[in-house]
């Protein structure tokens, strides 16, 4: 039972950390970030299993995390208010060529980030954007005027 409690606590802590870090950062992983994720995974494993190196312990932890993932997914599917918390909502960064500074600052996105995404969408400048929207997955969608 101790493994289930520790796995549950760690699951929700990791979930909270990923929400705080922000979707844009998670969608643009640099090599260092990838290494950091592997290190965090190892630290999480050590914190959850402690000195239990049994196969049964590993199966209990894996099953607990899998069931929690399924439960969060199902609850998010059933109730929209929970979905907003677990997945977020698209955020408008540019409207009719005008950057929305408050949204950009809150999501830690620079005008250069938006310009880069606009160029990739074959749009010359931010002024030519009807919308730039930060999607749930961290990608910026650019819609021309």
Mean pLDDT over residues 114-130, rounded?
A: 92
- Alpha helices, DSSP H only, in the chain? 2-21, 23-27, 31-49, 55-78, 80-87, 101-107, 111-120
Biggest CA-to-CA distance, the chain: 60
Q: What is the structure's pLDDT at 23?
A: 60
Per residue in 53-64, pLDDT tens? 778 888 888 888
CA 83 remoteness from chain centre: 13
Beta carbons within 10 angstroms of residue 130's beta carbon: 13
CA–CA gap between residue 106 and residue 93 (Å, rounded): 10
CA–CA gap between residue 145 and residue 141 (Å, rounded): 13
Summary mean pLDDT of the chain: 84
pLDDT tops 90 at residue 99 = yes
Q: What is the structure's pLDDT at 25?
A: 59
CA dihedral 4, 87, 103, 96 (to 10 degrees): 170
Mean pLDDT over residues 15-29, rounded?
A: 68
Which position has the higher pLDDT, 113 or 21? 113
Which position has the higher pLDDT, 109 or 31? 109
Total-model pTM: 0.63
Q: What is the structure's pLDDT at 29?
A: 64
Q: Which band of pLDDT confidence, cut at 50, 70 and 90, is reported for residue 103?
A: very high
- 89: tokens are 């909502």
Domain 91-144 -> CATH class: alpha beta
């Amino acid at each position: 039972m101790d493994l289930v409690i520790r796995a549950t606590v760690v699951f929700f802590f990791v979930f909270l950390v990923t929400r705080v870090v922000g979707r844009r950062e998670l969608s643009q992983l640099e090599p260092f970030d990838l290494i950091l994720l592997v290190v965090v995974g190892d630290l999480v494993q050590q914190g959850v299993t402690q000195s239990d190196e049994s196969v049964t312990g590993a199966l209990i932890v894996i099953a607990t995390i899998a069931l929690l993932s399924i439960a969060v997914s199902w609850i998010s599917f059933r109730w929209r208010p929970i979905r907003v918390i677990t997945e977020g909502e698209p955020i408008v960064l540019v409207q009719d060529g005008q950057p929305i500074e408050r949204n950009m600052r809150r999501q830690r996105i620079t005008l250069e980030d938006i310009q880069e995404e606009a160029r990739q969408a074959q749009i010359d400048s931010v002024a030519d954007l009807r919308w730039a929207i930060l999607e749930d997955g961290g990608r910026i969608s650019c819609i021309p005027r």
